[in-house]
Amino acid sequence: MEDKSDETSPILETEQLLPFTNMRYHVILDNSDKICCDGYKIGCDGDKIDCDGDKIGCDDDKIGCDGDKIGCDGDKIGCDGDKIGCDGDKIGCDGDKIGCDGDKIGCDGDKIGCDCDKIGCDGDKIGCDGDKIGCDS
């Protein structure tokens, strides 16, 4: 096996599990990348992974399905236009969002975790003043 320690940018290849999915992505790190937590980078300058609001990958990088992107503001992950990890991004079901003010989680327009959000059943809300819980409207 050749000794490549004299190269200026040795390559480290690794496989990791995507957050909120069972998909794996293949990552190539160079020696300028940090691996820790807050503000740690993966793959490209300024790209981060594994902390709140962090990013993964590079501008316009794609993963998994035709036209799907990962890791930068407005990027998508998975299939069918679902996005993850940035303000206003979506995860899981058509039109469903998670993790930002006013975002939704689940399917069929139900929301969770924000003022006047709904959960579970048509027209039912939880967690805000005057909100309802359950199924009967």
| Domain-embedded: residue 114 | yes
Mean pLDDT in the chain?
42
Interior angle at CA 13, CA 9 and CA 14, nearest 5: 140
Q: What per-residue confidence (pLDDT) applies to 35?
A: 36
* Confidence bin at 103 (pLDDT 50/70/90): very low
- Residue 42 within a domain: no
In a domain, 100, yes or no: yes
**Structural domain count of the chain:** 1
Residue 65 in domain: no
pLDDT tens for 69-89 read: 444 444 444 434 444 443 444
Q: Quote the pTM value.
A: 0.12
Give the structural domain span for 115.
96-132
82 located within any domain: no
Is 49 part of any domain?
A: no
Domain annotation covers residue 48: no
The label of the residue with tokens 């902390």 reads: 51
What is the rounded distance in angstroms from the CA atom of residue 9 to the CA atom of residue 13? 12
* Within a domain: 108: yes
